Structure 1
Amino acid sequence: MNIVAIGMGNFGASLAKTLTAMGHDVLGVDKNPEKVEFFKDKISNMICLDASDPHALRLLPIKEADVFVVCIGDDFGVSVMISALLKRFGVKKVICRESSSIHLTVLNSIGIAHTINPEYESARILAQTLTLPGIHHLFNISETLKIVDLTIPASLTDQKFLPASFREKTHLKVVALRRNQLILYSSSQPLPDQEIGHITYQPNDILVLAGEIKDIRKFLNT
């Protein structure tokens, strides 16, 4: 994907670096030349310009980019101005960081449907992870549907790995089974039944599961 990230603060820079590492073509934008210099070797492309200036903003790949992400969180007015200009210029998709309910309301009123609040999302995920002992990472698909990775309970050690049977008992889909850095099973590339039958759980194996939060809690408490 071709992605433009505007604002190289903590959130914007982390997003741009991660997308670059994933192999996407990223253009990082910031008006601070020191930041542009600092990130030039960590992000696919960097440019120094003031995105709140309509003439400067038009220098960016308005038509070519798949998505623009406005990552500015400390200046409400600048964030809204840039987002409004991008909508006026006909950008395919705009995602904007929002920092308050008022900020969100204003963005929605100018037609920005996709927003993100990193602090809120991080706090929500941390709260859920803290109340689910054994969970390493949690990804929200919806309010009730989650993907988690966890170290297998001791009760599973030496038992056969049977994903279909596991799903019947727990109502959780096994997405993957990992041992150290080796992926033993992935639902995207399922193994023949005879090969799965040779896998047994070992201490510290990592299960990646998808399902309802109530079923995840029930499994962790068994």
Structure 2
Amino acid sequence: MGTAKKEKYALIGMGDFGAQLAVTLAKKGIEVLAIDSSMEQLEDIKDVVERTVCLDATEEKALESQAIEEFDAAIICIGDEFEETLLIVTVLRNLGVRRIIARATTTRHAYILRHLDIEEVILPAVDAAYRLANKLAMQDQVNRLELSSDYEITEVRVPQQFVGKKVGEVNFRDEYHVVLITIKRVETQPHFWGMATREVERLVGVPIPETVMEKDDILLLFGHREAFERLLRSDNNEGSLNEGPEE
């Protein structure tokens, strides 16, 4: 069997955002070409990423010398200089780069980039605010595994209104639009030949309709992100969810 092709990305602009992204990708085993017009900006990451190059990315011949069209994607990480970002987008297009990802610092800049057919636009400040808002609004959400921009597998503390109910009494799929995968439960077991006890976390397995949900259970669920938000809000409102996720 042949070895899998190693992903490689060209990152342009090594400010705080670009440098952090470059280092994170490199630590995940991805080949990173870090580009900046300042050698000083490249100094801190030169020993972590595959390669660093000091050049002006608005100059087409300079980027062409790096065979940038052969990379899986070019990521423009520049923040404040939006005019420079637009120039680099033009250069990358002229060089035949298939996938361009661009950072925007304002929603107006993101709007302009999307109208230039840049489908992948990063808005770090907006994304950070969204994640914080979700974290604060969904305190009962324990862990999440994002499968796409809309769907995820998540661990949720059992809502109070479900405690003592059988799984079959709660219509997870049709009423809440989520799928119950399993239940994590902490149980107290004897330890040291019965002279002490310890708490052990175990999986209930595939829940059956007769499985009773207990206080402090963790439900492992699959569904649309909006469905989880409504599910957790319903714990406070004691209401049911009659609407599916918006498409």
Same fold (TM over 0.5): yes
- Is 1:65 paired with 2:65? no
> 1:188 corresponds to which residue?
none
Give the whole-Å Cα distance in 1 for the aligned partners of 2:143 and 2:181.
14
Does the Cα contact within 8 Å between 2:155 and 2:219 map onto a contact in 1?
yes
CA contact (8 A) 2:159 2:232 kept: no
Q: Give the secondary-structure state (helix, strand or coil) at the position aligned to 2:22.
A: helix
Q: Any idea what SS the aligned residue of 1:63 has?
A: helix
Q: 1:35 — aligned with what?
A: 41
Which of the numbers 203, 212, 218 marks the counterpart of 2:231? 218
Q: Cα RMSD over matched residues?
A: 3.9
* Residue 167 of structure 2 is aligned to residue 134 of structure 1: no
Matching residue's letter, 1:128: N
Aligned to 1:153: 158
Distance 2:124 2:14 in 1: 14
Q: Deviations over 1:97-155 (max 9, x none)?
A: 1223442344345443321211112212222322222235665955xx45364453386
Cα deviation digits, residues 6-65 of structure 1 (max 9, x gap):
111222122222222222212111122122121122323322222122221112232310
Aligned AA (1:77): E
Equivalent pair of 1:170/1:219 in contact (CA under 8 Å): no
Q: 1:86 aligns with which of 81, 88, 92?
A: 92
TM-score, length basis structure 1: 0.71
The question of whether the paired residues in 2 share the 8 Å contact of 1:66 and 1:93 is answered with yes
Larger radius of gyration, structure 1 or 2? Answer: 2
Cα gap change, 1:160 to 1:13, in 2 (>3 Å):
farther
TM-score (norm 2): 0.65
Once residues 30 and 90 of structure 2 are traced to their aligned partners in structure 1, the CA distance between those partners, rounded to angstroms, is: 25
May I ask how many residue pairs the two structures share in their alignment?
208
Gaps of 5+ in 2: 1-6, 186-201, 208-212, 236-247
* Structure 1: 5+ residue stretches without partners: 186-193
Cα distance in 2 for partners of 1:176, 1:41 equals 44
